[in-house]
Structure formats: structure tokens, C-alpha cells
Amino acid sequence: MRAAHPLERRVGIEHYYSDADGTGGRLRTTPADFRVRELEAMEPEPLDTDTGDYPHLLVRATLRGWDTNDFARRLSNALGISRERISWAGTKDKYAITTQLFSIRGVEPERLPEIDDVDVEVLGRIGRQLHFGDLAGNAFEIRVREAAVAPVEAITAELHARVGGDGAPEINSDRTSEASPGSAPETTSGVDEQTEVGVAVPNYFGHQRFGSRRPVTHEVGLCVARGEWREAVLTYVGNPFEAEPEGTQAARAFVDEQAERADPDWQEALDRMPGALRFERSMLHRLREDGDETPADWRHALEAVPRNLQRLFVNAAQSYAFNRMLSERLSRGLPLARPVDGDIVCFADRDAPEGLYRPDTDRTQVATDRRVDVMARHCERGRAFVTAPLVGTETELTDGEPGDVERAVLDDLGLSPDDFDRPGEFHSTGTRRAVLLRTRVEYDVDADENAYDLAFSLPSGSYATVLLREYLKTSPVDL
């Protein structure tokens, strides 16, 4: 099995699913090269519905060159309302054309302003504001330029063969096919250069989950889970990376030096830390004020960051452990597309939009004895998914070899489910996540331009980069 890029291995991603050479290439040469559209998870009420019960407008905004937060700020200013009255389901890259869902409380459609490089479509009314993750998934249209396009077909064929878990293709159709995810398999001898085909990849958490240029978020979270508050703060504030500017590296190195002293000068460390690193500065400010450097002081310093970042630390640690379990499963030759004895399998979301393979991790079943074959058939048809844990206090580790994998990774990390019983935002009950990501890819090779196009849809919580990495096989920084 082909080894992952060295930077990916830092976040637990050890393997590629395809052995074919990568195409290399460039993404986002222009914003139009990367288009993403959020897929609604709720059906709005008509606009003439009572605003007392449904006070929020649901709108679909297509943004060209806008950061999500910047657009929300611009919209609230134009409407003359608090930014808190605008919510959205997900954040997207500024260097793209993004179509996103927003809710706006207490505003009539005719008040919506015209904003440069934005098109707004009013969908209806909803009874509550959108929360992060309130979407079924995302649809992507991506162009890869300056690429060696010859491997595209071989990569697609390999990922197509992985759908069945044992090398047998399950889905293959041309652009006009109306086949659904649950339809009968159509085996063919290959795939064309311009076609739509079912593919599968490991459902890794992408590199950006941990920080693209400075992947330390999970390391902080691991320290939190172990109760190592001092190490958590120093991992975030100190710990320089070569990818950072020299001034930032020097400031972080000074923090590390002070941490080794009996009388650290946190004021000088604060003075040296660049102003743009406001979270690091907030932690240093608390260290300077508290002074005693007890475990409680270090935790207080870590709590200087926003609550969502506190949660992200723990979530990233869970994601790293998941990536490690997924990689270990591949290293042992355990399948991802079908269960083995002891696997916990979840069923597909029956309310997902057509064509979207979306797991429902609230509906699970343990595959044992004769149920292994039964669940394998469900998995082959896209009706169920093998899972691994995002470990938390309510996680029950499974049996058999899958359980051996889970315990081996946790033992290596010095963790147990009970370790996630931490105060405040650092607490997590855990959940489970599908180990395989399934989708249908429409691809089009433009050999004259040394470019190719990919179009696909993914459920919320899955990363486009885990599919793109199979094609480009390049540094995660370039994805």
C-alpha cells in the first residue's frame, strides 16, 4: 500500500487507497476552479408563513472571493442589525466560488441589500437559526491545472474497485444514467475519460482539521485529555514551526526558553509575540496575571481562547485518534467497505438527499456471527457503513480485531474514554464515524490544457481533500 505524504503522517494519515501515480497540479488558480455548494438539510416554510413561529429567513448566497465571516459582517452592517442575528451552516474558503446557507432573524426579503460579488436567493422561513453543521453535505466542482493527466483514469478505476471492498466494482454509469446508490451493480471492464463512476476512499479527517501549516491542534487536545494543562499551553504558544515567519518562530522559541526557567518573564514573552497571534497573546496575558503556574493557572490560560476553539482542541485529538485507527486498520489488511467480526456498523441516513451516501451514527449494530454477512451486503449497497470511534466518555470499545485496533491506538496515545471527562468545553461524550467515504465522481480530462475536472458530493463532516489527495498525491499544504 502506497505511503502517505510525510506531513500527512503527522496527523495520523499513513496510506493512500490507490497505488497509481498522482497527477500533481494546482488548485484554485482562479476562484472559479473551486466551486462548492451546500446541500440543505431542512425544508423551509413559504415566505408568507407566520413570522412569529418562523422568524428566520433562510437564504442561499453565492459568494465570489468572500470569507464567510466577512460577508456576514458586511450583510449585518448593510441591514443595520446585530451580527448575532445572522447564522450559517458552514465556513468556506475565500479563494473559491461558494454557495452557502444563511439564516437572518427578523428581516423581510425586500430589505436584503445588493452586495458586490454576491447573489442571494431567498428560500423561505425557518423556526430557528442555523447552527454549524446544519447541512446535508456539499457538492463540489473542481478543476486541477498544470497536472499530469495520464493517471486520472487509473486512479479512478482503483477507487471504483474499492467500492465493493474486495476489488469488485459496484457502480459505473455514463452521465445520463439514472442509477441510484441502492441500484444493482453494473460491472464493466473499465471507465471512460469522461464519465461518472462510484468511488470510495478512507474517510480520514483532512489535514486542515489540525492546521494546514502548523498542525498542533490535536497535540493540544491530547494534552488536555491527559490533564497536562501546562504542556497544552506550551504546545500552542511555544513550539515553533519552520513554515512560520522568522519573527513568529523567534517569539515561540522565547516562550519555550522561559518555560524552562524558574522565574519566567511572561511579560517579555507577551511583548515579543506578534499582535496577529491574539490567542497566543491571550494565554500569555493570563500567565503573566496569574503567576503561580499551578495546574489551575495553566488551564485558566488555555481557557483564554474562545469556547469553540476549546472544543476544537478536543475534537482534533479525537480526529487524530480516529485517523490512527483507520490507518492501523489498513495496515492490518482489514477491509473498510465491509465489516469483520466485532465491527460496529451504522446505517445510512434515510432522509439524505438522493445520491448522497450519508451515515447515521445514531443507528448502529454490532456485526457478529451470521450478522457479519448480512451487514456486509448492506455495506456493499451503500445502506450501511463500518465505523470507528471518535473517543469520548460514552465510547464502548468493540470486540474482535477491530477492538484490538482501537485499544492499540489508545494505549499508544496514553488515552482511555474516561480521559475525556474534563471540565467545561473540554468534555466530550464521543460518537462514531464511518471509516469509508463513498461518492460518485464525474470527471473530465482536458489533455490539451493539462487539466481535469472533478465533480462530486460529500456528506457533512467529510473532507474534499481526502478524495483530492488520491488524485494529486502531493503535499497537503497544496490541497
Give CA–CA dist 469/476, Å, rounded.
7
CA 394 to chain centre: 22
Q: Is 293 left (phi over 0), alpha (psi -120 to 50) or beta?
A: left
Using 50, 70 and 90 to split pLDDT, how confident is the model at 330? very high
36 within domain boundaries? no
Give the tens place of pLDDT for each residue, 389-405: 999 999 999 999 999 99
Q: Are residues 149 and 190 in the same domain?
A: yes
Chosen domain end from 132, 159, 191: 132
Percentage of the chain exceeding pLDDT 90: 85
Long-range own/partner contacts, residues 465-468 (CB < 8 A, 24 or more apart): 465/206, 465/207, 465/208, 466/201, 466/202, 466/203, 466/204, 466/206, 466/437, 467/199, 467/201, 467/437, 467/439, 467/441, 468/27, 468/142, 468/144
CB atoms near residue 75 (< 10 Å) = 24
110 within domain boundaries? yes
208 within domain boundaries? no
Chosen domain end from 94, 112, 132: 132
> What pLDDT score does 180 carry?
36
Q: Are residues 430 and 321 in the same domain?
A: yes
Instruction: Choose, from 67, 70, 93, 192, the residue flagged as catalytic.
Output: 93
**Is the pLDDT confidence value at 428 over 90?**
yes
310 within domain boundaries? no
Written as one letter, the residue type at 401 is: E
Give CA–CA dist 115/377, Å, rounded.
50
> What pLDDT score does 136 carry?
93
Give the tens place of pLDDT for each residue, 192-228: 455 789 999 999 999 989 987 899 999 999 999 999 9
Q: Check: pTM over 0.95? Answer yes or no.
A: no
Q: Are residues 328 and 430 in the same domain?
A: yes
Gyration radius (Cα) of the chain, Å: 24
Q: What is the chain's mean pLDDT, rounded?
A: 91
Q: Are residues 175 and 94 in the same domain?
A: no
CATH number, domain containing residue 290? 1.10.1510.30
Chosen domain end from 284, 305, 326: 305
CATH number, domain containing residue 103? 3.30.70.3160
Give the tens place of pLDDT for each residue, 245-284: 999 999 999 999 999 999 999 999 999 999 999 999 999 9
Q: Are residues 280 and 294 in the same domain?
A: yes
Q: Are residues 239 and 384 in the same domain?
A: no
> What pLDDT score does 189 carry?
36
328 within domain boundaries? yes
**Is the pLDDT confidence value at 168 over 70?**
no
**Is the pLDDT confidence value at 291 over 80?**
no
Q: What is the dihedral of CA 41, 45, 46, 52, to 10 degrees?
A: -140
Residues 6+ apart with CB under 8 A from 381: 170, 181, 182
163 within domain boundaries? yes
Q: Are residues 297 and 324 in the same domain?
A: no
Active site residue 93: yes
How many domains does the structure of the chain reveal? 4
Distance from first CA to last CA of the chain, Å, rounded? 21
441 within domain boundaries? yes
> What pLDDT score does 177 carry?
35
Give CA–CA dist 336/391, Å, rounded.
19
Give CA–CA dist 342/286, Å, rounded.
47
Q: Are residues 150 and 14 in the same domain?
A: yes
> What pLDDT score does 93 carry?
81
**Is the pLDDT confidence value at 303 over 50?**
yes
Q: Are residues 336 and 429 in the same domain?
A: yes
209 within domain boundaries? no
Give the tens place of pLDDT for each residue, 47-65: 999 999 999 999 999 999 9
Q: Are residues 121 and 12 in the same domain?
A: no
Which range marks the domain in which residue 64 is found? 42-132
Q: Are residues 288 and 374 in the same domain?
A: no
Long-range own/partner contacts, residues 78-87 (CB < 8 A, 24 or more apart): 78/113, 78/115, 79/104, 79/107, 79/111, 79/112, 79/113, 81/106, 81/107, 87/129, 87/130, 87/131
Q: Are residues 322 and 256 in the same domain?
A: no
